[in-house]
Copies of this chain bind each other. A is one copy, B any other.
Amino acid sequence: MQVVRTIAEMRTLRQQLDGAIGFVPTMGYLHRGHLALVERARSEDQFVIVSIYVNPLQFAAGEDLTAYPRDPNRDRELLRQENADIVFIPSDSEMYPTGFSTWVDVEHITERLEGASRPGHFRGVATVVAKLFNIVRPCRAYFGQKDAQQVLIIKRMVADLNMGIEIAVVPTVRESDGLALSSRNLYLSPEERRAAAVLFRALTLARELRADGKRDADTIRNQMKALIDKEPLARVDYVSVADARTLDELRTIDRTTLASLAVWIGKTRLIDNMSLE
């Protein structure tokens, strides 16, 4: 496995690869959710490239950029075990040299849910992913369903800008109590960790209500909120029952629907989502 730190070296190596390239962009501090992406790439592509980069552009002032957990040595060892071919770990000055001033902006779908709670977040995400795609030039790129809105935005960007990259979506990996794996779970105290299972329980409730034939979206949202409100350590940021393609909030469930939510557990903000089939 080669560890690459400059864009120039990454380009040179890339030119030598002749075959399908799978790419997994990450912010590091890898967990089994990331590794599921790498394993999927390993099973589908001839070469697997993983990037580790905590992208400052997608953190707003006051968010957890500096606190965001990092463990590059452990990450490299995990990726070696997964037989990744190349790990790309650029520095901030490689990615955003002085004078940097170009942004990729996806409209509409970026304004809801995470975009509403975190202004500028998806502009940062789209911009860094466009850069990484241009540097790595993969055939396929792998993203987790846990960041459902991010997946929709990346797919939109790839289609709109004709990037010619296949976006593969990998199911959310969960702990035994249903908590979706996230690098931010590290922030949770043992008590908070137990409380955090409320996100999965609320999503499961939504799915059960839908399975019982409930079609009124407000009823489902309200019951999800009521369930979360019963957990003293949890505070709802948003609860959404929306069109799974556009993320427009629904009044009546009459199409493919995604339930999603963001919940503060103490000082940690967690997100999750589930399809309501």
Contacts and interface: CB of A to CB of B under 8 A. Distances in A.
Interface of A: 7, 11, 99-109, 126-127, 130-131, 134-135, 156-157, 160-164
A161 B162 CA distance: 15
A247 to B, nearest CB: 12
A11 B162 CA distance: 10
B131 A162 contact: yes
Nearest to A157: B102
A160 B100 contact: yes
Contacts of A134: 161-164
30 contacts: A7-B162, A99-B156, A100-B160, A101-B107, A101-B109, A101-B160, A102-B104, A102-B106, A102-B107, A102-B156, A102-B157, A102-B160, A102-B161, A103-B104, A103-B105, A103-B106, A103-B107, A104-B104, A104-B161, A105-B105, A127-B161, A130-B161, A131-B160, A131-B161, A131-B162, A134-B162, A134-B163, A134-B164, A135-B162, A135-B164
Contact of A106 (B101, B131, B164): B101
B102 A108 contact: no
A100 B130 CA distance: 17
A175 B235 CA distance: 70
Nearest to A136: B162
A85 to B, nearest CB: 20
Nearest to A110: B101
A167 B240 CA distance: 45
Contacts of A164: 11, 134-135
Contacts of A101: 106-109, 156, 160
